[in-house]
Amino acid sequence: MSKLLLEMNANSKTKEVKISPVGLFSGYDGRVYKLNETTIAATKQRGLDIPLNIEHCFTQKGCAAVGWFKLDTLELKEDGVYAQLELTKEGQELVSSKTYRYLSPEFSVDGDRNVVTIDAVALLNTPNFNLEINQRGPHYDNNGVQLKQKDSETKVSTPNLGAGTSVPQNQNLGAGTSVPQNQKPKEENEMDEKELEQLRKEKEELSKELKLQKEFNQKLIDDLKTQQLDEAVKANKILPAEKELLKEMNIDTLRSYLATRQPLGHTKEFNTNTNQQAKEDSAYAIAANLGWGEE
């Protein structure tokens, strides 16, 4: 699995590092993103190097940078976004020791899921993007229209019709009117039917692949939740009985919630009322994060 993800190269100090997928892609959590050269231009326009933080700043260390991606080296390539990374002393130790192995970009997005800017990159061990799946997916033209396989190989794109632009329709021909030379013969119409049938089959196959991909994504998310909850139990941040309820949170909310949890009491002798109150407070916090109110 590691070869499919954005993985740090601990042996390279100046080589460009891939920090994000490009084009249309989605994460394990199901969210879709669209990133192109406009994103790179907007990011460079800010004039700020891109910070490398730890676990999206969800740790107790806050949001101190452990490295910087040089803005003037930010480049959009066919297989991803690249930039040269300068690690701090702490960052070099974390990467060389493989305390953290993967990268996860932080985006600002608009309402249409276009990535406006790349704001930061995080070091972590549970990344959200699977590059091989993204690169194997469908191709899209400049207007966001999915291309056929033969079109995507030749980079063909359809023109964008502006607002108010109409597409000519076939006119009704009266008696004695000759048929235009560009009218399709019967053989071509039959070919169109075959192409339509082929497109229907391709659509069905894509729907099946999408369903399998969603199931795969959900399993990965569930596994990540289980891993984080097990670690939280070992760290005495939550009670074992809380795990099933906490699994109902989405992955980002769960990460934020666990990052704010303090270890529970460690002593074997404790006051029963105090322990009961701790359980009630914990249950209330979980309900609040799930959006449940008092009835």
Assign 261 to helix, strand or coil: coil
Q: Give the angle subtended at the CA of 130 by the CAs of 127 and 131, to the nearest 5°.
A: 120
With a cut of 90, say whether residue 252 has pLDDT above it. Answer: no
In the DSSP assignment, the letter for residue 17 is E
- Scored b (16 or more CB within 10 A) or e, 154-166 reads eeeeeeeeeeeee
Q: Are strands 102-109 and 75-77 parallel, antiparallel or unpaired?
A: unpaired
Higher pLDDT, 240 or 146: 240
Q: Using CB atoms within 10 A of its CB, is residue 264 exposed (0-12), middle (13-18) or buried (19+)?
A: middle
Task: Name the most confidently modeled range: 3-7, 113-117, 161-165.
Answer: 113-117
The mean pLDDT value for 96-125 works out to 92
Residue 281 to residue 283: CA distance in whole angstroms: 5
* Least confident span in 97-111, 117-131, 264-278: 264-278
Can you read off the two tokens belonging to residue 276?
């009961």
In whole angstroms, what is the distance from residue 191 CA to residue 185 CA? 10
pLDDT of residue 195 exceeding 50 = yes
Query: For 16-58, what is each residue's pLDDT tens digit?
Result: 899 999 999 887 777 889 999 999 999 999 999 999 999 888 7
Owner of token pair 């609040």:
288
pLDDT by residue (tens digit) across 86-99?
999 999 999 999 99
Domain regions of the chain by residue span:
2-135, 216-290
